């Protein structure tokens, strides 16, 4: 079977994966008490259930917000609206969500050192997205200038 991979199909796959991730993040919101209970049981370290629960709730809310903005971004791309202020705003929000998760994980480092790794990765992704946002803002300005050249 030979399926031709097109731009539309790639976009559809991204949107399906984004929705799947959104549903997963929403499901995690209800499963956090169970996850933290299980973690304390298997970690073999002093219990950190309350701290972990708070951190996971805050991080999951950031994740849901980021995925929601990602969905808006993909919807705009499918409408051929690429270099717009709306898209720049979406990338900026996602970037700040990453920095938010990084801050939460950095705080969790006081109890679990492993959280530092997640904090660094989240901050790095946030930084990359910030650069992408700056690039998108410059591209939007260039497109506007081009559109308004008579």
Partner 1 sequence: MPIIVNLDVMMAKRKISAGELAERIDITPANLSILKNNKAKAVRFSTLEAICRELDCQPGDILEFSKDEQ
Of 6 and 149, the one with the shorter C-beta distance to partner 1 is 149
- Smallest gap, in angstroms, from Cβ of residue 37 to partner 1? 60
- Residue 145 near partner 1 by CB under 8 A: yes
- Residue 144 near partner 1 by CB under 8 A: yes
Of 113 and 150, the one with the shorter C-beta distance to partner 1 is 150
Closest CA relative to residue 18, chosen from 61, 64, 70: 70
Out of 2, 6, 34, 148, which residue is the one contacting partner 1 (CB under 8 A)? 148
Cα 145 from Cα 147, distance rounded (Å): 5
Binding site for partner 1 (CB under 8 A): 144-145, 148-150
């Amino acid at each position: 079977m030979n399926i031709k991979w097109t731009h539309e199909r790639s976009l559809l796959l991204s949107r399906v994966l984004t929705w799947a991730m959104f549903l997963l993040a929403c499901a995690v919101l209800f499963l956090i008490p169970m996850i933290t209970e299980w973690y304390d049981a298997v970690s073999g370290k002093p219990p950190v259930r309350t701290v972990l629960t708070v951190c996971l709730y805050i991080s999951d809310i950031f994740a849901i917000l980021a995925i929601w903005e990602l969905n808006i971004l993909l919807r705009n791309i499918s409408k051929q609206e690429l270099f717009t202020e709306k898209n720049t705003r979406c990338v900026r929000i996602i970037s700040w969500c990453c920095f938010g998760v990084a801050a939460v994980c950095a705080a969790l480092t006081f109890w679990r050192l492993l959280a530092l790794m997640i904090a660094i990765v989240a901050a790095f992704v946030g930084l990359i997205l910030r650069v992408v946002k700056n690039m998108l803002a410059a591209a939007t300005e260039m497109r506007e200038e081009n559109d308004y050249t008579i």
